[in-house]
Amino acid sequence: MKLLSVIVPCFNEDETLPIFQKEINKVATIFKTLDVILEILYIDDGSSDKTLETIKKLRLYDKRIKYLSFSRNFGKEAAILAGLEKAKGDYVVLMDADMQDPPTYLIDMYKAVSENGYDCAATKRATRKGEPIIRSFFAQLFYKFINKISKIEFVDGARDFRLMTRQVVDAILEIKEYNRFIKGIASWVGFKTKWFEYENIERSAGTTKWSFWKLFLYSIDGIIAFSTTPLILSMLLGLAFFFLSLIFILFIIIRTLAYGDPVDGWPSLAVIVLFIGGLQLFCTGILGQYLSKTYMETKKRPIYILRESELSNEDSEEE
Ligand code: UDP
Ligand code: MG
């Protein structure tokens, strides 16, 4: 018998959880025929609705369900980490609660890993159909940019829905950093990955927790965490402008010698001052980003704080 841990971060998902659990149960019966039992680990990420109550209710009927509950909302990345730390499975899979990661794929993903010699089965959306155009545009821009400047590969449209062997999970847990970006981390640790593609699926219920602004900040986190190229870019930019100014100085000296020095050109001067000023602020900003990440890392704060948890198989057993 093999154990497959299903990790499900939940933030205000009380509407979607019963639907999810029902679908997982269907898959679980198929898994049984493959000699695999499931452990379902819900991580309540400081939800303000009835998510935790719903999980507890589901657990009344099914002791394969375990849960962790955070003291506040720490974000999906923190929830994923908590799940990976507590999962006991020989195989571990990360899934969203909203059915955008179809449980029916689990069987094929499991087979790829257990039979076909892959360490990891990952998923990506085939197209960005159904997504707002502006969002698609910026998402694609982000992937182009990060792949240019980072040594590891970021797959466009990759989802967090991925099944891993114990070995891969342990490798991911070795990474202790505070600023976590699971897509990058999973790619950074390496291993043989099989990719599954499917069309994007609408949420079963509830609403997305990601605003455009949240996604934007998240993408900056990803870039800063996996590349120091922006620092080099800003340095090169500074250097380029230094040489440009040298050429300008020469030009002005020669022009003054040849034609004298009529006092005009202040508008262009003002523009140049503004431009260089802006550029300097931009580069200082980049520097600040790295500094702030370093600052957060050095504090060594816990990535999440548990309020309550239930990880046992029985009611009487205390974890
Ligand atoms: N999630 C979480 N903490 C957060 C935000 C989201 O645990 O702060 C969970 C959420 O409950 C869901 C998954 O992460 O299971 C993906 O979130 P969502 O569906 O809102 O994102 P989208 O699919 O729109 O990218
Ligand atoms: Mg979703």
Mind listing the pLDDT tens digit for each residue in 8-17?
999 999 889 9
Task: Summarize pLDDT for 146-190 with one digit per residue, the tens.
Answer: 888 888 888 888 889 999 999 999 999 998 888 888 888 998 898
- Per the rule left: phi > 0, alpha: psi between -120 and 50, beta: everything else, 192 is beta
d(CA 79, CA 10): 8
Tokens of 210: 């990601």
**Is the pLDDT at 316 greater than 60, yes or no?**
no
How long, in residues, is the chain?
Answer: 319
Tokens of 137: 């545009």
Q: Which residue has the higher pLDDT, 131 or 219?
A: 219
Ligand (nearest to CA of 209) = 1
- The predicted pLDDT at position 313 comes to 77
Mutate to test the pocket of ligand 1, among 76, 94, 215 (most ligand atoms within 8 A of CB): 76
Task: Summarize pLDDT for 23-78 with one digit per residue, the tens.
Answer: 999 999 999 998 999 999 999 999 999 999 999 999 988 888 999 999 999 989 99
Ligand (nearest to CA of 46) = 1
pLDDT averaged over every residue in the chain: 87
C-beta 76 within 6 A of ligand 1: yes
Q: Which residues pair with 44 in a beta bridge?
A: 10, 69
pLDDT category of residue 315 using cuts at 50, 70 and 90: low
- The predicted pLDDT at position 127 comes to 78
**Is the pLDDT at 299 greater than 80, yes or no?**
yes
Mutate to test the pocket of ligand 1, among 6, 96, 128, 131 (most ligand atoms within 8 A of CB): 96
Ligand (nearest to CA of 100) = 2
Tokens of 156: 């466009």
| Residue with tokens 């449980």, as numbered in its chain | 103
Residue 218 CA to ligand 1 center (angstroms) comes to: 13
pLDDT category of residue 3 using cuts at 50, 70 and 90: very high
Residue 11 CA to ligand 1 center (angstroms) comes to: 6
Ligand 1, residue 75: give the atom nearest the CA: 8
d(CA 119, CA 104): 20
**Is the pLDDT at 285 greater than 60, yes or no?**
yes
Residue 244 CA to ligand 2 center (angstroms) comes to: 48
Percent over 70 (pLDDT), the chain = 97
- The predicted pLDDT at position 286 comes to 85
**Is the pLDDT at 319 greater than 50, yes or no?**
no
- The predicted pLDDT at position 169 comes to 95
Domain boundaries, the chain: 2-214+303-318, 229-299
Mutate to test the pocket of ligand 1, among 11, 24, 50 (most ligand atoms within 8 A of CB): 11
Mutate to test the pocket of ligand 1, among 19, 51, 161, 209 (most ligand atoms within 8 A of CB): 209
Out of 208-212, 238-242, 300-304, least confident range: 208-212
Residue 188 CA to ligand 1 center (angstroms) comes to: 23
Amino acid identity, position 273: V
Residue 23 CA to ligand 1 center (angstroms) comes to: 18
Give the Å distances, CA to CA, from 80 to 95, 232, 289. 9, 32, 24
Average pLDDT over residues 181-208: 84
Ligand (nearest to CA of 80) = 1
**Residue 72, C-beta contacts closer than 8 angstroms, at least 6 positions apart:** 46, 305
Average pLDDT over residues 271-299: 85
* Ion ligand 2 contact residues with beta carbon within 5 A: 96, 98, 100
Task: Summarize pLDDT for 95-118 with one digit per residue, the tens.
Answer: 998 888 889 899 999 999 988 889
Give the Å distances, CA to CA, from 82 to 33, 49, 149. 29, 21, 30
Where does 2-214+303-318 sit in CATH, by number? 3.90.550.10
Q: Which residues pair with 249 in a beta bridge?
A: none
**Residue 303, C-beta contacts closer than 8 angstroms, at least 6 positions apart:** 74, 77, 78, 81, 82, 178, 180
| Residue with tokens 């001052």, as numbered in its chain | 273
Rounded to two decimals, the pTM is 0.78
Tokens of 194: 């099989």
Ligand 1, residue 79: give the atom nearest the CA: 7
Q: Whose CA is nearest to atom 12 of ligand 1?
A: 96
- The predicted pLDDT at position 95 comes to 94
C-beta 200 within 6 A of ligand 1: no
C-beta 75 within 6 A of ligand 1: yes
